[in-house]
Amino acid sequence: MNALFIGGSTFLGHSLKSQFKRIYLSSHITSIDLPRENYLLFKTSDEEFLDMRDLVKLGNYSKDVDYIFINLYDLLDPSAIHESKQSQNLLLQTLNFCLDLIERQNANVLLLLNKNQYLEPSNSYQNQYNIILDFYLTYFKYLSKVNNEKISIFMLPNLIGKYAPQHSVMQIFKNNIKSNQPSTVTVSKREFVHVNEVVSIILDHLNSVENYIEVKSSSIEIANLFYIVNNKLNGKSNSIVLNKEPYLLNRIPLDPEITKKASSSLNFYK
């Protein structure tokens, strides 16, 4: 069993790729990712890694694959979108590569997205994020209907856990607590799920017939999340600065008739 992971060497991608390999020991794993500022790429010794910027190698990719994971959850950060624009729209070129591969092979496609968009985009990044997310959703929905491709779209909340980027809220809290620095906390609630739970849900639905799988969890106040982390790390500081919500998020509307709900617990430490 062979699998291709687009965005397979950062947070969710690496966690998913590693667990897939543990389950399917004899599988061949290929990870395609984009090196970028402020992001670590996690590679394993038994995988084939391809730099997304090396489009010649991507175009010559000829291995048979059973599963194609397109991890836009990790690939739509500001650094990736900036790097994509600087390199002749790499994200779109990579999508074209995926589509060509999907047409040539009878692979299951799993598209991984954040289920939230910016309600009122206030800067260039937020606007581009919404546009790219809409484009991918529309295109893959069309592709699954017209070509009858085996495509499952996973709509995910905010993820926490090992390999999370340093600018993620949990990592910022951890770093501030360890250095006894105050944390700026927005007055808002968010859904958070541990990445291990999401990985289990995705792998349980490898051959799902549902078009959409929405992962749900309870929402938590950001301030309460800080106190949970502080207590877990035995932090001596409970210093936070409350700030007004800088932006509003809107859950992407999904057709309930073709959407399966996958619930998860509010467990931050696994």
Distance CA 171, CA 53 (A): 28
| Helix or strand holding residue 52 (H, E) | none
Which ranges of the chain would DSSP assign to H, the alpha helix? 11-23, 55-59, 72-75, 78-86, 90-104, 124-146, 169-178, 195-204, 222-232
Query: Where in the chain are the domains?
Result: 2-161+192-217+256-263
Pairing label, strands 116-118, 183-186: unpaired
| pTM for the model | 0.90
Reply yes or no on domain 2-161+192-217+256-263 having CATH 3.20.20.150. no
Distance CA 262, CA 204 (A): 10
**Which pLDDT score, from 0 to 100, does residue 4 have?**
94
> Can you tell me the mean pLDDT for 118-147?
86
Closest CA to 39 of 165, 172, 167, 195: 165
DSSP assignment letter at 258: G
| pLDDT tens digits for range 241-267 | 777 776 777 888 777 666 777 766 555
| pLDDT tens digits for range 202-242 | 999 998 767 889 998 888 888 888 888 888 887 665 677 77
Distance CA 185, CA 172 (A): 11
pLDDT over 60 at 113, yes or no: yes
Burial label, 25 (beta-carbon count in 10 A; 0-12, 13-18, 19+): exposed
What SS3 class is residue 67? Answer: strand
Closest CA to 30 of 84, 97, 91: 97
**Which pLDDT score, from 0 to 100, does residue 270 have?**
47
Q: What are phi and psi of 234, to 5 degrees?
A: 55, 40
Angle between helices 195-204 and 11-23 (to 10 degrees): 50
DSSP assignment letter at 185: E
Structure tokens at 48: 């084939």
Token pair 């969710």 in the structure block, residue:
12
